[in-house]
Amino acid sequence: MKKNLIVFGTRPEAIKMAPLVQEFKKHNDKFETRVCVTAQHREMLDQVLEFFDIVPEYDLNLMKPNQNLYSLTGDIILELKEVLEDFQPDYVYVHGDTTTTMAASIAGFYSGAQICHVEAGLRTHNKRAPFPEEINRQITGRIADYHFAPTTASEQNLLKENIDPKSILVTGNTVIDALMDSSKRVENLENAEIEKLKALVDPTAKLILVTGHRRENHGDGFIRICEALKEIALQNKDTQIIYPVHLNPNVKKPVYELLSDINNIKLIDPLAYPAFVWLMNQSYLIITDSGGVQEEAPSLGKPVLVMRETTERPEAVEAGTVILVGTNKELIISEANSLLTDNLRYQTMTALHNPYGDGKACERIVEFIVKL
């Protein structure tokens, strides 16, 4: 029987790896599968684990106040050494582009395990954007033995880097697997957070959901974003903006200083995953700098404005399901106003095909590993 160790540390990783954990658990006759969380994020990670009924066999609990990339990287590698020596997995699965991803792939490589990279092959080719994620992903790509690419464009990126074609499988993105499962779960879920949102949402208004946290937008970028949101709210009284504000003071401070006194903008605490899925479903338009939301929202038929200068997810831009606006105040305002007022453009954008898959990515990954 082969041994799988699935490693993740942040909320986005947990969402995207949860369906893979569940799929492998269906094959307990072929695999012993264990989960290790680094808890690079803690509270937000725990909410996802609870929602998907996942109890990790290993919890490194590494999150510290004001943690930095130097100590976090070192701590992950050192702490994983004990886990890898205890379990001795054949395969170590990592996801995407976090510090956990990069450090776990190095540790797994040191242990002699084969490294399986889920959501492989995304590239901006700019090592400073997103930082440090672009380099994390590229390092993991050099180490990985198997590459599960979400799209053919991601596959092409890997082939250009001389990755063996036999080691690449185009799967679709596992976030669509998670979203399809979650959308069903939240329909009848008794959830206090969702009940609070129901009381907050104005059913007569067009709802704009905003999320923003990226490091490269800190400072002037967030000031421009907030100024744009303020103008959108003031120019469109029939809209309601709901913004779950990231706890990072580099985000929270400018957001509350610039937006807290506007009637049709509601600033709220970060949401657990079930409540966020519910709110995405209710929204008319989403403005974000999140990678995962770029993938999820088109499956729900929601147009997305992406507040990033570059994206490692160009398929959505090419498909027309998202629009890159960066932190350009005028562009954010003009594109939002266009989608709020031009019904034909809005309907055209919502009807476009999501390039990120059909919700069967995890099935394809497990089938691939079974054949090995």
CATH of the domain at 157: 3.40.50.2000
Please confirm, yes or no, whether 90 is among the known catalytic residues: no
- Give the residue from 77, 112, 87, 79 showing the smallest Cα distance to 35: 87
Q: How many domains does the chain have?
A: 2
What is the pLDDT, as a whole number, of residue 122? 96
Whether residue 363 sits in one domain with residue 248: no
Q: Report residue 200 as tokens.
A: 């907050």
What is the pLDDT, as a whole number, of residue 343? 96
**pLDDT one-digit tens code per residue, 241-286:** 999 998 888 888 999 999 999 999 999 999 999 999 999 999 999 9
- Give the residue from 44, 60, 50 showing the smallest Cα distance to 11: 44
**pLDDT one-digit tens code per residue, 136-146:** 999 999 999 99
The three-class DSSP label of residue 63 is coil
How far is C-alpha 72 from the geometric centre of its chain's CA atoms? Answer: 20
What DSSP letter does each residue of 148-215 carry, written as one string?
EESSHHHHHHHHHTT--GGGEEE---HHHHHHHHHHHHHHT---HHHHHHHHHS-TTSEEEEEE---G
In a domain, 184, yes or no: no
> How many helices (H) and strands (E) in the chain?
16, 13
- Residue 283, classified by CB atoms within 10 Å of its CB into exposed (0-12), middle (13-18) or buried (19+), is buried
Whether residue 112 sits in one domain with residue 41: yes
Whether residue 201 sits in one domain with residue 345: yes
Annotated active-site residue in 133, 289, 295, 315: 133
In a domain, 288, yes or no: yes
In a domain, 185, yes or no: no
What is the pLDDT, as a whole number, of residue 151? 95
Helix (H) or strand (E) holding 287, with range, is: strand 285-288
Annotated active-site residue in 215, 216, 227, 367: 215
**Contact between residue 332 and residue 222 where contact means Cβ atoms under 8 Å apart:** no
Tell the residue number behind the tokens 């995962």, with chain if given.
292
The segments of the chain whose pLDDT lies below 70 read none
- Residue 212, classified by CB atoms within 10 Å of its CB into exposed (0-12), middle (13-18) or buried (19+), is buried
In a domain, 179, yes or no: no
How long is the chain? 372
Whether residue 241 sits in one domain with residue 137: no
Whether residue 281 sits in one domain with residue 247: yes
Please confirm, yes or no, whether 42 is among the known catalytic residues: no
Whether residue 361 sits in one domain with residue 334: no
Helix (H) or strand (E) holding 4, with range, is: strand 2-8
Annotated active-site residue in 119, 134, 177, 335: 119
Annotated active-site residue in 97, 155, 177, 315: 97
> What's the chain's average pLDDT?
94
In a domain, 183, yes or no: no
Please confirm, yes or no, whether 363 is among the known catalytic residues: no
Annotated active-site residue in 213, 214, 224, 308: 213
In a domain, 181, yes or no: no
Q: Report residue 215 as tokens.
A: 């490091």
Whether residue 200 sits in one domain with residue 159: no
Whether residue 210 sits in one domain with residue 112: no
Tell the residue number behind the tokens 């510090």, with chain if given.
99
**Contact between residue 268 and residue 240 where contact means Cβ atoms under 8 Å apart:** no
Helix (H) or strand (E) holding 35, with range, is: strand 31-37
What is the pLDDT, as a whole number, of residue 312? 85
Whether residue 315 sits in one domain with residue 267: yes
Please confirm, yes or no, whether 119 is among the known catalytic residues: yes
Containing structural domain, residue 342: 191-350
**Contact between residue 173 and residue 355 where contact means Cβ atoms under 8 Å apart:** no
Annotated active-site residue in 27, 42, 185, 246: 246
**Contact between residue 246 and residue 213 where contact means Cβ atoms under 8 Å apart:** yes
Please confirm, yes or no, whether 215 is among the known catalytic residues: yes
What is the pLDDT, as a whole number, of residue 171? 98
Whether residue 74 sits in one domain with residue 197: no
Whether residue 259 sits in one domain with residue 139: no
Please confirm, yes or no, whether 231 is among the known catalytic residues: no
What is the pLDDT, as a whole number, of residue 82? 97
What is the pLDDT, as a whole number, of residue 291? 83
In a domain, 182, yes or no: no
- The whole-angstrom separation of Cα 138 and Cα 235 is 42
- Beta bridge partners, 145, equal none
Whether residue 246 sits in one domain with residue 153: no
In a domain, 331, yes or no: yes
